[in-house]
Amino acid sequence: MQLLNRLIKPAGRLLILPVVITAFSALQTFSQGIVAVAKTDTTTILIGQQFNLQLQLSHSKNLNIQWVEIPDTLGKLEIIQKSGIDTITVDAANLSRRQTLTFTCFDSGFHVIPPFQFSYRQAGDTTVHVAETRPLLITVNTIPVDTTKAIKEIRGPVEVPWTLADFLPYIGGVILLALAGWGIWYYLKKRKKKTVHAAPAIPTRPAHEIALESLRKLEEEKIWQQGNHKLYHTRLTDILRTYIEHRWQLPALEQTTDEILAGFSKGMMTEELFAKLRIVLETADLVKFAKMQPVAYENEQCMADGYDFVKRTAKTAEIIQEKEAKP
């Protein structure tokens, strides 16, 4: 009997030791004011079905909690949704935090959800403690098959006859497109305006008289002397362009400098006058577009060249106007 008692006592200690350790650990966790719980709404699912797991952590407010980091998969179990972490005040000293995880699984068998570990520190203490949930077992079953029945062939696609309801969306789409096209055509037809290109009015006075009068008026206004070089050269070239348009019937008011100069052929004027016209037009372009500030001599020379150009081409202009006036 004594020998039997000696054998039972060590064996009893080995059986009691895990229980004591577990109880001590739970007591220590409870004494530190924290409890971690994980529970599922079911322990058995069919393959591909979903189930929910709720994590709950109750702890005192004086603990600094680090929430567990949850991966996307736990073994063969897939987490397809994670809710936010809800905080509930239990009383003046305690809080409860909850999070719901939605799982699914496509492998049959037994699957273990391992413990979730929460790290925490007590106020004024740098030691990191861990509170964890207990592991859970989930059973995933396949769909039962009745092996007593004969295997049937797989049915092919069933052809369903077309009905009017099947064609209605297409008919409606064609009608809407037709209405939209007609509406666009009608709108453009109503909004379309005929572009009328008005022919330049033939002045009742000789073109050179109008040009010389405009040049004298521009000279008397002393615009460039007031510092407005751009307006001065714009007005000067507009006078010459209008004169060219009425003198040679060239659309000079709508053309660039290069286009105006290219419109003159040999014999229409001397090379000297052609060179003066080029200088006047190109100087105006530099002032208007390159912001050049010409000196007084350049401004006066452009005016003098404008006078010379009009006066030396005026006689031919009078002859042309006399011919146009004859019936």
Residues 243-247, mean pLDDT to the nearest whole number: 92
Work out the pLDDT band at 200, boundaries 50, 70, 90: low
Residues 193-215, mean pLDDT to the nearest whole number: 73
Per-residue pLDDT at 61 exceeds 50: yes
The β-bridge partners of 89 are 95
Residues 218 and 309 in one domain: yes
Residue 200 covered by a domain: no
Work out the pLDDT band at 265, boundaries 50, 70, 90: confident
Residues 133-151, mean pLDDT to the nearest whole number: 86
User: Pairing state of beta strands 136-141 and 44-46?
Assistant: parallel
Residue 160 covered by a domain: no
**Considering the chain, what is the average pLDDT of its residues?**
83
pLDDT digits (tens, 9 = 90+) for 246-264: 998 889 999 999 999 998 8
- For residue 57, the enclosing domain spans 38-141
Q: Nearest-CA neighbor of 313 among 276, 260, 259?
A: 276
Domain boundary among 141, 157, 183: 141
User: Pairing state of beta strands 34-40 and 50-60?
Assistant: antiparallel
Q: For residue 22, what pLDDT is reported?
A: 43
Residues 153-169, mean pLDDT to the nearest whole number: 83
Q: Which H, E and C letters describe the chain, residue by residue? A: CHHHHHHHHHHHHHHHHHHHHHHHHHHHHHHCCEEEEEEECCCEEECCCEEEEEEEEEEECCEEEECCCCCCEECCEEEEEECCCEEEECCCCEEEEEEEEEEECCCCEEEEECCCEEEEEECCCCCCEEEECCCEEEEEECCCCCCCCCCCCCCCCCCCCCCHHHHHHHHHHHHHHHHHHHHHHHHHHHHCCCCCCCCCCCCCCCHHHHHHHHHHHHHHHCCHHHCCHHHHHHHHHHHHHHHHHHHHCCCHHHCCHHHHHHCCCCCCCCHHHHHHHHHHHHHHHHHHHCCCCCCHHHHHHHHHHHHHHHHHCHHHHHHHHHHHHCC
Work out the pLDDT band at 47, boundaries 50, 70, 90: very high
Residues 212 and 312 in one domain: yes
Q: For residue 27, what pLDDT is reported?
A: 39
Q: For residue 327, what pLDDT is reported?
A: 43
pLDDT digits (tens, 9 = 90+) for 10-35: 444 434 444 443 444 443 444 457 99
**From CA 20, how far away is CA 24, in angstroms rounded?**
6
Per-residue pLDDT at 193 exceeds 60: no
Residues 217 and 320 in one domain: yes
Residue 32 covered by a domain: no
Q: Nearest-CA neighbor of 59 among 98, 99, 20, 115?
A: 98
Q: State pTM to two decimals.
A: 0.39
Residues 201-210, mean pLDDT to the nearest whole number: 81
The rounded percent of the chain whose pLDDT value lies above 70 is 83
Residues 284-313, mean pLDDT to the nearest whole number: 92
Domain boundary among 125, 141, 157: 141
Residue 74 covered by a domain: yes
Does residue 153 or residue 213 have the better pLDDT?
Answer: 213
Work out the pLDDT band at 135, boundaries 50, 70, 90: very high
Number of domains in the chain: 2
Query: Out of 208-222, 233-247, 303-317, which region has the weakest mean confidence (pLDDT)?
Result: 303-317
Residue 273 covered by a domain: yes
Q: For residue 203, what pLDDT is reported?
A: 64
